[in-house]
A and B are shown apart, each in its own frame.
Chain A
């Protein structure tokens, strides 16, 4: 009876509301094996549950006082006790076998065609293709206006000071955004039908890289390099998230993987190489040019909002003692050299990371210049050229 109810409870909503209650099956052989194991486990549990709860339901019904006024007197039975100790042992041994076999396969990281080093840092992923000279950061691209629904009296003003767009419009955009919180600027691009090995590492705290459709979840731990692999048969876009609490924006560290055919992937690698050459040409041009204040400030504002505002806030006010205010901040209006140093090299052991490896000379020059001219900041020394940044690298 009870078991039947459980079953109905499981099935009826599936049918009526078309809600998916099951584990995601995924696309790789591994994720499908795991889904199979999950399903087997679930059914084993349901069957045991039906038997145990069924017996319980029966005794509750049949052996209540009104129906069964004289209780029986037994309180031991060695045979029964041995049987119900042994049966679970057998069931478990049977289950352990496929699980162990699957596990051995999962842990076999050999013979990969491509290796990607995945490095977590607060709160973005960096992907480095070890066989190709390609590396880039992957940041969540869902805009803050969609996330922060202000208007209530709980959220602080700084938090609600949104760069552009108000939160009503943001809410509508959020509802319309199919990939809300699960979209990034630069997805990881992988070839289909090739064994890809992932190495995971971290620059600060522990993160965990997870793509449910591949059944790959591997912690990224500072000081360690972990291994995992996948082989994706189908092209497409796959989404996941960081699953290890990694600080304030842990919820905003999505993983997006684009799987392309092998040819498309090779083409993409080539495109990346060309883009890189162009960028380095551009970088040379940028540092040879002398920029005006207005040019740098306008680029700087964009860089700031994209990279810095999550901690220091769009209005530069920071957040309590955790994130210092840059509006009137000691370093932001102090000597230029110290400011450049802090932005380029960060401060070890704090959430202020080194931006030199992440941003171009132009962008670093721009964001520093922006900080020195934004809000109420007006130091004498208010502009820095990309060339200076290049020379401090």
Chain B
């Protein structure tokens, strides 16, 4: 297993390099540039700006220097001042007073003079990770039990009810559900604040909120439910289908023939098997949720990552595009690694060696 994980991490690096290469190539092949506005700027100013961000250099040089900034660890001999957005590393490790190891400089953003891509990762990403994680947890604790109940009570009122909720969940998008919730709970009943988010930097471990009281939940509740419901519906349908398939298997009949209690037939013999396909989908689902969801964050006025995925592309904000795509790739690969590890735990037939 250990060797397998190491191999997967190496493979992950390759994937991320390939993703960076393709993204870089694609975004530069799209017409237009970061400083093309409706009101066109004088040519000298554009030239100046391009010089400042090294956009005047040949593409291969730009790409190599990007790789150098992001992937290669650097050494500094004094405490980094962190004044210049172009000199902002995500990781600064102090070895001695005169020896610092610095890693992952994703560059400045073009849309703001005073912010780096790392600032987005520090301030917006944690919010998205919190929202996405809560949504995922809600999706699991609603979706999986709903699927199990529907399967066990197949073709009864519980099944129809459960699956109606699931269909509702998949087919009503956040863009409808979100405003509806805001209108009911935020505006009409005034139970919850309609928009906003309840945690601010600094974060524990870079992403966990410091306060977990009502001040946090009153903001988190609605968007996580709105976001999680759609995913819970997918999980419910998948769990139901999978469990229905499993309880027709021969080994379930064997368990019954041994005199196992009906409840234990389900819990002890069917459940673990039926969760294997459910776990598969959790990987991409997690990556999608925690890296920011544009519509949910926009609807609930949440200062998350979501909008950068969209606006960076229309603005040709090259460093932000690269940063967000690489981040998504990392999350996706890591999530899939977690899924594989969970597989090995669930299914002894799978051995990674």
Same assembly: no
